Amino acid sequence: MQQSLEGKCAIVTGAGHGIGRASAALLAQRGAAVVLADRNTENGAAAAQEIVADGGRAAYVPCDVSVADDCRRAVDTAVETFGGLDIVVNNAGIIRRSTVCDISDDDWDLVMAINVRSIMLMSRYAIPVLAGRGGGSIVNIGSGWGMSGGGRAVSYCASKGAVVNMTRAMAIDHGEQGIRVNCVCPGDTDTGMLEDEARQLGEPEDAFLADAADRPLRRIGQPLDIARMVAFLASDESSFVSGAILPVDGGGTA
């Protein structure tokens, strides 16, 4: 049976679309109250409204995850609205496809701010609250390209490699507080980000998606595929899992 998340509260970043939206919806379906943090007000508010319309508990908070005050506000919203915080899903991310010779300073800094700095900031404010509740679960969304390299994606690979090793370090630092920290590494997943990559590279979308499906399971991932792993790591079913780097990629890293 699926582990209930009744009585738990989660923050999901980048919750207005893709993997974040699917994760927020699934956590809510399993009983958690969810704070959806996203800088896109229209998408974030709509995702929260969908959860409420389905009978769940949700609140949307505008949040640029690279800004400390916004991350603090998201944690404060969880505490003030739902009485605490037990789960953090650090999902927000972007990609800029380029080599080290081509990438601009601004794009490099932006990728690092959204993909790496955001996890540090959100965790900085969340961990004392989790510890005060006796522990909790932090799920960082990495990438298969955090475990191996990829072409024309140097900033993304660097950022997701950082996420992978940050996860290990955080698991070591905060295990004594009862806080588990794990990393889910999706393969190519059917989201707007994947479509945006095709545009950045100037490749036909259909051909790009077909190439992304060239893996043992012969398909790209769906956001729900990743959300199911997130929900497992958020639940007590994974109570002895911490510091793990878990690919969910249809066999791509194999």
The domain segmentation of the chain, as residue ranges, is: 9-189+222-238
Residue-level pLDDT at 234? 98
The CATH architecture to which 9-189+222-238 belongs is 3-Layer(aba) Sandwich (3.40)
Residue-level pLDDT at 106? 98
Q: Give percent above pLDDT 70 in the chain.
A: 99
Distance CA(154)–CA(64), nearest Å, equals: 23
Per-residue CA distances from 219 to 189, 200, 215 (Å): 9, 22, 7
Contact, 198 vs 151, CB < 8 A?
Answer: no
- The DSSP secondary-structure symbol of 117 reads I
Q: Give percent above pLDDT 90 in the chain.
A: 99
Q: How confident is the model at residue 192 (pLDDT cuts 50, 70, 90)?
A: very high
Contact, 233 vs 184, CB < 8 A?
Answer: yes
Q: Which residues are catalytic?
A: 156
Q: Please state the rounded mean pLDDT for residues 18-42.
A: 98
Contact, 245 vs 141, CB < 8 A?
Answer: no
**Interval 35-80: pLDDT, tens:** 999 999 999 999 999 999 999 999 999 999 999 999 999 999 999 9
What is the pTM (predicted TM-score) of this model?
0.98
